[in-house]
Every structure is written in C-alpha cells, then in structure tokens.
Amino acid sequence: MRDSLPRSLSGEERLHLTLQIISDKKAQNIVGLDMRHLNYLLCDYFVVATTESDRQAQAIADALLEQLKVVEGKHFSYRMEGYETGKWILVDMGDIVVHLLQPELRAYYRLEELWGDAKSISYA
C-alpha cells in the first residue's frame, strides 16, 4: 500500500510517465527531445505528439494533469495554453514542456527540426 502514496518524481520518471500517458491516449509520432545538453534554461525535455482532433488533444492534456496529480499528489506550477481550441496545446510542467499538435500545425512548425541539436527520445 505504501507505493500508492503520492511522491515527487524525478525528471526522467515524469518524462516516462508523460510519454506513457500520451501513448495510452493514442497520440501519434510521439517524440521526446532531451534539451539538457543544450543548456536550454526553460525545461529539460520537450515532448511533441500528433493528435487527430481538438477533443483528443484536450483528453490527453486532461489525462496528463490528472494522472500526474494522482502519482505526485499535487500540480506544482503546471500551465496550459491552447486548450480552448485544441489545435496546439502546450502543457508546461516545469522540467517538461508537452506540445500536442494537430497534423497540419506539426508539419508547419516542425519543432523537431527547430530543436534538431537536441537528443531525440523516440516513443511508440
């Protein structure tokens, strides 16, 4: 029973859980970008995923916050932008920034290319 108590996750544990939640909600082309060696001051990891609709993106964002709260017991200073339209939802979890984009926006902005020097962490 002790394992079910809320606890703080390390950045890598939070990243793994984030990738799993996004995958469970059927996002596509999920990619993690390790920003740590770039000395990027705003976060340690980017996660980019393609969603097929605004509802799917919103469901993924909701699941992220809900499941992380269950595991960690609180929502630190998580922020979210773009939730209302769902075309591009950004979830800022401090050490991880998640980008949930619909296909046309992902193709247009090509975030993986913009941060091409970051180490890629592929996920199913």
pLDDT digits (tens, 9 = 90+) for 74-92: 756 689 999 999 999 999 9
- 113 vs 52 pLDDT, higher one: 52
Q: What is the pLDDT of residue 29?
A: 94
Question: Is 123 a member of any domain?
Answer: no
* Whole-prediction pTM: 0.89
pLDDT digits (tens, 9 = 90+) for 38-77: 888 889 999 999 999 999 999 999 999 999 888 888 756 6
Question: Is 12 a member of any domain?
Answer: yes
Domains in the chain, number:
1
Question: Is 122 a member of any domain?
Answer: no
Question: Is 120 a member of any domain?
Answer: no
Question: Is 84 a member of any domain?
Answer: yes
The domain that contains 99 carries what CATH number? Answer: 3.30.460.10
**pLDDT class of 1 with cuts at 50, 70, 90:** very low
- Structural domain range at position 102: 8-115
DSSP letter for each residue of 8-68: PPPHHHHHHHHHHHHHHTT-EEEEEEE-GGGT-SS-SEEEEEE-SSHHHHHHHHHHHHHHH
Question: Is 2 a member of any domain?
Answer: no
Question: Is 1 a member of any domain?
Answer: no
- 98 vs 123 pLDDT, higher one: 98
Q: Hunting for tokens 């082309």 — which residue is that?
A: 29
Q: What is the pLDDT of residue 2?
A: 46
- CA atoms in the 13 A half-sphere facing the CB of 98: 32
- Point out which residues pair with 119 in neighbouring strands: 34
Q: What is the pLDDT of residue 6?
A: 65
